[in-house]
Chain A
């Protein structure tokens, strides 16, 4: 085969390792030593690629069969098939289901492609000296626990994304309030006149703030549970006394 870039040269291959050489036509028929495998071989002109392909031709699809665009296999008449409602391209039914729509680019029945979400905060890694502040977005030192631009505070030097930062911050703002409410509940549950109210409203509050209560310190979360327990107990004793006090 003639080298398309250098028409005076032919392409030949080592018969042992297949290493390609571009040699002058005059060397054809001579013996040479391969630089790759050091084996001796007779220089012969390589056959063009087309001639290789034609030597092993692909079996053509049976006449009258239609190829499925997804699996590239013929659709036999006995197989369940599906035509695209928009462009009428035929598919195996299974292939249509697998692809979740038409396989033709631009067809309105083609499945929606997933768009990759933009990463808000680039991930910091060892060796990188800066990270982005999740509050103001400015670049700050990777080891910073406080943003020099907006004053935002971080629990650790590990970079946080904006959502995690917001969640942590709002939780940090909520927890002291939940802790104070626990103390108020405890005080109200001590008084017999307000204990039934705590039993009702305190239970509702407890279930709506359960996760925050669990995140409180052991003493504060215990206060909350004790307040509810005390309120139930006081209410129960009052109800029992009211029911049975005058009974014989």
Chain B
């Protein structure tokens, strides 16, 4: 045993390699070079990318913030129910409504049975079986109709029926003791409030899509420190999102309205006053509407960089994100706020729109992650851990901000340093400047085919080339 533990004797000319020397980076580089010369695939150890540089995370955060911004911008102009406040001009609690209304000359039956009315600010507000009382702080309270009298100041949350035609006003909530300082809008004629809300509703999809498009379009440029790309991507995303959101919003309303009408027609014992089937139908309608609206939210990056692949990823991600966000809009509302027993859906809309922004962003990044064929992961450099998608057949790498992969803070990188060319399943790198070498697996190359796991060094910046196996 003692002989086994004794190191073998050194004789003249023998070399002893220490553990540190064997594990040194220099040895790794030599091995890489040898393997590369033998024609083997890249042998770089696959370091993991940093999660906070992953596009799904970045897009999710920016999409969420942008959606919140869009909600904050629109919300002051949005009313689910028109709130009017004033003195009761006249009232009749015994009169019964025919239960029918008309839209564009077409008569239809109401899904409620109005009985009795109060006239406030010139609007005849019909009471029905679901009319509830509210306190000044929007808490539900018992409503005693017999306590109402002409001349009393009350607040009424009115739902016009049909909404934009204002043929009939249904009083969903009555506030017998309203706040002393009502919002200015409360004294407006009901048609003006409806017109304002309708306008906000029409541009809702467009504004949300535009702001999410702006954020997602600008994200990559901001992360890569390319101001020009961020501005152009953002602006293109804004315009594409607005136009697409506006057009798809119209289509979405056409799709959503009949489904919503169908759902509302089925009253049930559920927390939202609907049957389970009606709730699922409403959920499906909303998800479809947001799916259509989401189509253009992620197009900014693809359009500004003129990349068909990014355009497709943005399109697919937008559809899926919108669909998913729209689908969980109602369940989240139900879970957090307990359904529709609220005069206004401010919070529910905020949550819903924010969730849609987050899901659209996350899905665009996720689709990119699933569908990408090849990418570069920066292992050494200012954005170490970030993955750069090869989204074009000809990608430029260099210190010029116009390069698809912009390398900053590195004096060893030329303005136009190298190109990566994709041809079918093969990728090829070519150096463009003789004074600035391109090193692949520790070997200087002028032009070479890239294999999965190859290490590419441009100046002090090092990338790992990765390709999806088929």
A interface, CB within 8 angstroms of B: 190-193, 214-215, 217-219, 221-223, 225-226, 230, 233-234, 237-238, 240-242, 245-246
Contacts and interface: CB of A to CB of B under 8 A. Distances in A.
B86 interface: no
A192 B284 contact: yes
Contacts of A240: 331
Given A218-B373, A237-B331, 6 more contacts: A191-B284, A215-B470, A222-B370, A230-B324, A245-B270, A245-B276
Contacts, number: 64
A221 B313 CA distance: 13
B64 interface: no
Interface residues of B, number: 30
B373 A217 contact: yes
A226 B373 contact: no
Contacts of B370: 218, 222, 225-226
B328 A237 contact: yes
Given A190-B319, A192-B287, A246-B269, A234 B367 contact: no
Contacts of A221: 371
A192 B371 contact: no
Given A218-B372, A245-B271, A223 B323 contact: no
Interface of B: 269-271, 276, 279-280, 283-284, 287-288, 291, 309, 312-313, 316, 319-320, 323-324, 327-328, 331, 334, 367, 370-373, 468, 470
28 contacts: A190-B288, A190-B319, A192-B280, A192-B284, A192-B287, A215-B470, A218-B370, A219-B371, A221-B371, A223-B316, A223-B371, A226-B370, A233-B327, A234-B327, A237-B327, A237-B331, A238-B280, A240-B331, A241-B276, A241-B280, A241-B283, A241-B331, A242-B276, A242-B280, A245-B270, A245-B271, A245-B279, A246-B270
A238 B367 CA distance: 23
B356 to A, nearest CB: 15
Contacts of B324: 230, 233
Contacts of A233: 324, 327
A226 B470 contact: no
A194 to B, nearest CB: 11
A219 B276 contact: no
Contacts of A246: 269-270, 276
